């Protein structure tokens, strides 16, 4: 049976060259990068190279990169760190209704600690209005956190505009760029970004490693009290193989970025066309143009996402849904809710996220299988009534 993985927004396979680059760092170059001897210095060289590669990719200085365990840790460090470091100056945070749980959940925690959080709404395409950001600012606003691209519907936010507003008011500006680092061009200077979260496993690197960009002078405190690693901002012995792998992954991503964007955009458009033409009462969610090149999110009226997911899996297709109780969500998608979809449209939603290995034949296979699967689910749902 044909196997088609269309869940790259959840995670990507590590590139073979990434794995090769990592291997020596498990058992040959095993020193602690903090050690002053040759073993340590060799390991430190690997870390330095990765730091340079990561910094270059987003237009940062090497000393502004802090290695972490991934997107969730980076987001937690920013939200809690900015709140703690700023609590004598203010108690207000601005974010959006469509952030990843790794931002929303720390916000809920902070609200319980006495902070106030404004959750900006989005329009029906998932776009944040920069003017709404401006209007939400008040004395005591410590941080503005707006994701670069949404992981469910792919909508890309006007970061440079929002960043300019934050800068004008001297408020820290954070972006969860986990879906865009290594996929889209990013320039922390042009976009006025002070803090940026990224995760290696979303750009063909290993799982459990990521980074946080911290603009020099930004006050966010320490995220892990312990040793002197990462200028004492995050104690804990470096995940040397992981960091080296992430560095390699970002080098590969940067090199192939232009071609990949073009290739994925074409395949994505082919898939969208195929679905909308092949399935009655199907609708594209998210922004038509300002969206991730690899993201397709669709809703089928009177269908049922989980059932659809199971049928597609039986046909060798892996994707995800925003309906209730999927693996990553506790309830129906808060993102699809925020763009104003009805219960029916949320229940019948499907996210297909393409990747480097996706081919035209894969897309055509999905376009062939999907209409049948939706018909089957609709018949079943109809029978239940």
Ligand X SMILES: *Cc1c(COP(=O)(O)O)cnc(C)c1O
**Catalytic positions:** 325
Q: Where are the alpha helices (DSSP H) in the chain?
A: 16-22, 24-27, 38-58, 71-86, 101-112, 130-136, 159-168, 240-278, 305-314, 334-338, 343-347, 360-384
Residue whose CB is less far from ligand X, 147 or 252: 147
Nearest approach, Cβ of 381 to ligand X (angstroms)?
Answer: 30
Nearest approach, Cβ of 201 to ligand X (angstroms)?
Answer: 6
Q: Which two tokens stand for residue 144?
A: 């503005």
Cα separation, 60 vs 77, in Å, equals 19
Is 72 a residue that touches ligand X (CB under 6 A)?
A: yes
User: Of 4, 14, 133, 178, which lies in the binding site for ligand X, with binding defined by CB under 6 A?
Assistant: 178
Cα separation, 95 vs 78, in Å, equals 12
Residue whose CB is less far from ligand X, 198 or 377: 198
User: Of 15, 100, 215, 287, which lies in the binding site for ligand X, with binding defined by CB under 6 A?
Assistant: 100
Nearest approach, Cβ of 285 to ligand X (angstroms)?
Answer: 16
Among candidate residues 143, 139, 151, the one with its CA nearest the CA of residue 79: 143
Cα separation, 193 vs 20, in Å, equals 33
Q: Which residue is nearest to ligand X (CB)?
A: 71
Cα separation, 244 vs 234, in Å, equals 18
Give the footprint of ligand X on residues 297-336 (CB under 6 A): none
Residues 193, 213 contacting (CB under 8 angstroms)? yes
Residue whose CB is less far from ligand X, 192 or 202: 202
Nearest approach, Cβ of 28 to ligand X (angstroms)?
Answer: 27
Is 230 a residue that touches ligand X (CB under 6 A)?
A: no
Is 234 a residue that touches ligand X (CB under 6 A)?
A: no
Give the footprint of ligand X on residues 147-166 (CB under 6 A): 147, 151
User: Of 31, 71, 242, 322, which lies in the binding site for ligand X, with binding defined by CB under 6 A?
Assistant: 71
Q: Beta strand 195-199 with 210-214: parallel, antiparallel or unpaired?
A: antiparallel
Residues at the site binding ligand X, with contacts judged by CB under 6 A: 70-72, 100, 102, 147, 151, 176, 178-179, 199, 202, 210
């Amino acid at each position: 049976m044909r196997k088609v993985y269309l869940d790259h927004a959840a995670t990507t396979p590590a590139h073979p060259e990434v794995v090769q680059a990592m291997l020596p760092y498990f058992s040959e170059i095993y020193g602690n990068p903090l050690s002053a001897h040759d073993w340590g210095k060799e390991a430190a060289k690997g870390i330095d190279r990765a730091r340079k590669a990561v910094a270059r990719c987003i237009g940062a200085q090497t000393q502004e990169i802090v290695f972490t365990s991934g997107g969730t840790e980076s987001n937690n460090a920013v939200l809690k760190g900015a709140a703690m470091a700023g609590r004598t100056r203010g108690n207000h945070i601005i974010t959006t209704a469509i952030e990843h749980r790794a931002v929303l959940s720390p916000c809920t925690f902070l609200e319980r600690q006495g902070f106030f959080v404004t959750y900006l709404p989005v329009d029906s395409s998932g776009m944040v209005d920069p003017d709404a950001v401006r209007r939400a600012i008040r004395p005591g606003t410590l941080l503005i956190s707006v994701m670069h691209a949404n992981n469910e519907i792919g909508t890309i936010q006007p970061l440079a505009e929002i960043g300019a507003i934050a800068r004008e008011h001297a408020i820290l500006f954070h972006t969860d760029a986990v879906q865009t680092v290594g996929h889209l061009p990013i320039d922390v200077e042009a976009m006025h970004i002070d803090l940026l979260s990224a995760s290696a496993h979303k750009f063909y690197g290993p799982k459990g490693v990521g980074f946080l960009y911290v603009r020099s002078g930004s006050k966010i405190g320490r995220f892990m009290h312990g040793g002197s690693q990462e200028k004492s901002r995050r104690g804990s012995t470096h995940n040397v193989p992981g960091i080296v792998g992430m560095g390699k992954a970002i080098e590969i991503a940067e090199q192939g970025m232009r071609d990949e964007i073009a290739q994925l955009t074409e395949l994505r458009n082919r898939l969208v066309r195929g679905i909308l033409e092949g399935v009655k009462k199907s609708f594209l969610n998210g922004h038509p143009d300002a969206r991730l090149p690899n993201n397709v999110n669709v809703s089928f009226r009177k269908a049922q996402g989980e059932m659809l997911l199971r049928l597609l899996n039986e046909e060798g297709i892996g994707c995800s849904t925003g309906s209730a109780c999927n693996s990553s969500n506790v309830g129906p998608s808060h993102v699809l809710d925020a763009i104003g979809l009805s219960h029916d449209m949320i229940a019948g939603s499907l996210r297909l996220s393409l990747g480097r290995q996706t081919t035209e034949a894969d897309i055509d296979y999905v376009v062939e299988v999907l209409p049948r699967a939706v018909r089957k689910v609709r018949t079943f749902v109809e029978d239940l009534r």
